[in-house]
Amino acid sequence: MEEAFRGIADFVRDHQAWAAPIVLVLAFGESLAFISLLVPAWGALVAIGALIGAADISFWPVWIAGGIGAALGDWLSYWFGFKYKEHVAQMWPLSRYPDLLPRGEAFVKNWGVPSIFIGRFFGPLRASVPLAAGIFEMPYWRFQVANFVSALIWAAALLLFGDVISLIVEWLWRAV
């Protein structure tokens, strides 16, 4: 997996025009229920964030693409949960992680709308919270507002984390 992400980062470095579309797809996959459990793409997003300063890639289009991709992934997860309520827990790969959906349900019930925001930043919750919000019929517009705001903040956090790490490494390289 690490080798694939390194290849993606190398491709983005060599073909900067593809940075935003690739980040959109990676953020979508990272936020989509089922897929994010199998292919955690956050490492590639941080690596692409490191290229922002190092390869002089414009932050704004990449950030917007990441936010839109993440929000679309969560929206589709919400819709899937809303549409297939009773059947979701029996579907693979959630059937292999029987505690994931109840944890998401408890989180959504305890925290309400802030659960969407908080869940975006915590690994397995990222996949299960929007699904649980759909299953338990969180009001659509409340979900969407929290979804898009948290997606933009999450994308900025990952990309800026990579950018800051690259600046620190560059500074250390010059200092040593």
State the Cα–Cα distance between residues 25 and 30, nearest whole angstrom.
Answer: 9
Query: How confident is the model at residue 98, as a pLDDT?
Result: 81
**Backbone phi and psi for residue 37, each to the nearest 5 degrees, phi listed first:** -70, -30
Cis peptide before 93 (omega within 30 of 0): yes
Local confidence pLDDT in tens for the 176 residues of the chain: 678 778 888 899 899 999 999 999 999 999 988 787 677 788 889 999 999 877 889 999 999 999 999 999 999 999 999 999 878 878 877 788 788 778 778 888 899 899 999 989 887 677 788 998 999 899 999 999 999 999 999 999 999 999 898 888 888 888 88
Q: Where are the domains of the chain?
A: 2-175
Counted residue by residue, the chain has a size of: 176
48: which 2 tokens? 């692409």
At residue 7, the pLDDT reads 87
Q: Report the pLDDT value the prediction gives residue 49, as an integer from 0 to 100.
A: 93
Give the tokens for residue 104.
């998401």
